[in-house]
Homo-oligomer: A and B are copies of this chain.
Amino acid sequence: MSTQTKFLLDESKMPKHWYNIAADLPKAAPPVLHPGTMQPVGPDDLAPLFPMELIMQEVSTEREVPIPEPVRDVFRLWRPSPLLRAHRLEKALGTPAKIYYKYEGVSPAGSHKPNTAIPQAWYNQQAGIKKIATETGAGQWGSSLAFAGALFGIQVTVFQVRVSFDQKPYRRALMETYGARCIASPSNETNAGRAILAQRPDHPGSLGIAISEAVEVAATNDDTKYALGSVLNHVLMHQTIIGQEAMLQLEMAGDDPDVIVGCTGGGSNFAGIAFPFIGQQLRGGGKTKQRRIVAVEPAACPSLTRGKYAYDFGDTAHMTPLTKMHTLGSTFTPPGFHAGGLRYHGMAPLVSHLKELGLIEATAYHQNACFEAGVTFARSEGIVPAPEANHAVLGAINEALRCKREGRSEVILFNLCGHGHFDMSAYSNYSAGKLVDQPYDEAELAMALSGLPGVPA
């Protein structure tokens, strides 16, 4: 127990570049298509929604993209985040494996989301933008962008799915404390929202509808842009600071991971920890250590393990461009479960592409097993993980138990992407035995998949 627990990097060692995996891919990812023409989109097509710097990052193939100094200055508030060796968890499991976790819950918003919220807000500010509209489900992304907006003087409007708006008043209070405006979606502030409310005044909302509202506000107001918290290439790239730091910290620890585990919803925290290591393998050919990279998703919303790799829309209302990704169909509604950040019908195109290339594995777990892992983790390592992060915790635990069975002392690294302090009602329900492992509806999945736009490969 006297070996080192925490590996800290001085802020002078914080990465100065994001890592862009597009530079190292053996084969480029399929292009993004315009929803009207079904032709590849150009930068100008995206200009109403994003500042040009972010659009250029979206399509960049440069390996290293500089992190602007004002962005690094904000990151210094919590970055470099700590890497910890889970000595007590290893002991509790009786495993010969070494388990490391990168802890992103130290950010002011409690998750990895500020890693991209800060640069997105900064690039918008540099482009003279005064307002950003976005959507949020449970609220991790909305509160992170609210935080970023407060620092860069940008007015943030968050369309929050109504059921979360009503059930999770604390995340909303966090957004408002940072000065953002939080609106229950569907709302009366957009055509998209009004159309839904006309049909059903008590509509509980969905991420798809909230996206439509935020996109509409950005598209119809010159002073307003849109921001997304996952899925897109530039968002995933912003998260690679996680994996780059982890690489330096594991060097300090004298270890090199055999297995890297992350949870996947839209794919950004997983990409953040995994892409720098995958890139190292891709560049090194056979000479670099070959690692297993494991994506863990909820069994109730299993895009990587049960979805189809096909072109699909990012939102329910089909206002967004089409991307080729593992999708359950944009009309698929997953059953209710507590990892709200993982309830998305599609997967980031880059993560999907890596899955197709055989560079990553994927597995899916139900929520009770994930919460059980989270409680085991909390009672040994202290930190109560976010429900999303519990998927990665369970993935890491299962790898460690495999090592125990096989008598192998592998090095396991996982991303603990956020703490669960805003999610204690879910733990409460778990403790009370009230959580149900509801499978998705096979018939609904078949229907949603049959409705895919059917763009030829």
Contact = CB atoms under 8 A, between A and B. Distances in A.
B382 A77 contact: yes
Interface of A: 1-2, 4-6, 8, 10-11, 69-70, 73-74, 76-78, 84, 88, 106-110, 114, 147, 150-151, 169-174, 176-179, 375, 378-384, 419, 421-422, 424-425, 427-428, 431
B431 A382 contact: no
A88 B174 contact: no
Given A378-B150, A424-B169, A425-B170, A177 B8 contact: no
15 contacts: A1-B70, A6-B11, A6-B78, A77-B381, A106-B106, A108-B381, A151-B380, A169-B425, A169-B428, A173-B428, A173-B431, A177-B378, A177-B379, A419-B421, A421-B422
Most buried by B among A106, A114, A378, A382: A382
B421 A110 contact: yes
Contact of A11 (B5, B11, B114, B170): B5
Nearest to A1: B73
A171 B420 CA distance: 12
Of all A-B residue pairs in the complex, the 6 with the closest CB atoms, nearest first, are A108-B382, A5-B76, A170-B424, A173-B424, A173-B428, A150-B379
Contacts of A6: 11, 76-78
A340 B114 CA distance: 30
Contacts of A107: 382
Most buried by B among A84, A151, A173, A422: A173
Given A1-B73, A77-B5, A170-B424, A383 B108 contact: yes
Given A77-B84, A421-B421, A428-B169, A384 B177 contact: yes
A52 B150 CA distance: 51
Nearest to A14: B6
Contacts of A170: 421, 424-425, 428
Contacts of A428: 169-170, 172-173, 176
A420 to B, nearest CB: 8
Nearest to A375: B177
A306 to B, nearest CB: 31
A173 B8 contact: no
A172 B11 CA distance: 36
A390 to B, nearest CB: 12
Contacts of A88: 151
